[in-house]
Structure formats: structure tokens, C-alpha cells
Amino acid sequence: MDTTTVLDTFRKRTALLEGHFKLSSGLHSTGYLQCALVLQHPGDAEAVGRALAERLSGLGATVVLSPALGGLIIGHEVGRALGVRAIFAERTEGVLHLRRGFSLSPDDHVVVIEDVVTTGLSTRETVAVATAAGANVVGAGSIIDRSGGQADLGVPFHALAALSLPTYQPDACPLCAAGVPVVKPGSRAGTAKS
Ligand SMILES: [Zn+2]
């Protein structure tokens, strides 16, 4: 599964909409991305996970660690493809922790898996969870890199596709200025395809 195939899958599942959108943050954007709309299809999730695992296969990972909730399904599928454990960290009072009896040791070589990397903040927090447990973080991966290549994760990073979806304050939005009608994703999910 190459970059084009990944993005075609996202478009087919209406997980990637291109146009003029009002996001839940209130910002306007030229695109809308919702990985859950791909990952809700187990066959797609498995295929995307296998493709991401192939990019990461040289890292020698012995366990996948993902931040809940966004990284959970793709982390599980990457773990399946690599034949290693897939565990997740959860936020309590704003801080990521290992719970549910999950553990890491200095013998573990961890790859951190996310659905989307935007600023890289949650990936770095997840790396820190593994490091604090004494494990060795060998790399990170995501389906989509929205960082414009700017995310510094401190470990080797691989994404299946890079996307640039700029956001604007409504009063500075060039699409509004050009008179393009704005769409709120979710409200017309079936008709908002580009
Ligand atoms: Zn706008």
C-alpha cells in the first residue's frame, strides 16, 4: 500500500475531505481528516497496519505502544503485522500512563504508533512513557503526517502519507475571502466529498 493507495482509501471512506471546512475548533481549513472512518473497516485497518509495519520492520521493535484513543486500533494492527505486543497509554488528569497491568522493561524495544502526527506532542509524551519505564524507543510511526515535516519526535519517524491541510482564523480565511461556501464536517458527511 503506497501513499496514493492510502489516500485513495481515505477518500473512499470519506475520511479525507478536500474543500472548505469549519472545524470543531472554529478554525477553517482546506481539508478534513478523520482516521476513524477508515479504521472502522477492519480490512482497511489491517491493510494500513500492515503497510505501516513494513515501513518500520527494520527497527527491531518488540512492542508497539500507542496513546489512547486515536492510536489504539492502528497500534493493534501494526502489532499484529509485526508479530509483537500492542499496548496503550491512557490519560489520567491530563498525563499519559500505562494502566491495566501493561508493563515495559529495559529489554523492550518500543515503536510508538499514532493515527495522525500533527504537532508531535502526544507522540513525544508517549515516547516519554516508554522511556520512563526503562524501555528503549526505536522509532515512531503514523498513518498520516500533518506536521509538514516539522514534528521533531527525537526518534526515527515514518508515515504512510504526508498531508498539508492549513487552518485559518475565519476572518483571515482565503477561501471565505474568495466566497467559497463553508461546510461543517459531520453535518453533511455523505455529500461533502470533493
Ligand atoms: Zn473560511
pLDDT at 166: 87
Reduced to 3 states (helix: H, G, I; strand: E, B; else coil), residue 167 is strand
Centroid of ligand 1 to alpha carbon of 182 (angstroms): 6
Torsion of CA 176, 27, 21, 45, to 10 degrees: 160
Centroid of ligand 1 to alpha carbon of 178 (angstroms): 9
The side-by-side arrangement of strands in the sheet containing 28-33 is: 16-22, 28-33, 167-168
Centroid of ligand 1 to alpha carbon of 29 (angstroms): 7
pLDDT at 185: 81
Query: Ligand 1 is a single-atom ion; what residues have CB below 5 A from it?
Result: 28, 173, 175-176
What is the distance between the alpha carbons of residues 62 and 182, in angstroms, rounded to a whole number? 46
pLDDT at 55: 96
pLDDT at 148: 82
Centroid of ligand 1 to alpha carbon of 175 (angstroms): 5
Can you count the helices (H) and strands (E) in the chain?
A: 6, 9
Centroid of ligand 1 to alpha carbon of 141 (angstroms): 31
**Which pTM value belongs to this model?**
0.88
Centroid of ligand 1 to alpha carbon of 167 (angstroms): 9
Torsion of CA 86, 90, 96, 99, to 10 degrees: -70
The side-by-side arrangement of strands in the sheet containing 157-162 is: 95-98, 85-92, 63-67, 109-117, 136-145, 157-162
Average pLDDT per run of 10 along the chain, which is 194 residues long? 93 94 89 95 98 96 96 98 98 95 97 93 95 97 90 93 91 96 72 40
Q: Is the dihedral of CA 9, 12, 16, 19 positive or negative?
A: positive
Query: Is omega for the bond preceding 175 within 30 degrees of 0, making it cis?
Result: no
Paired sense of beta strands 16-22 and 28-33, if any: antiparallel
Centroid of ligand 1 to alpha carbon of 22 (angstroms): 7
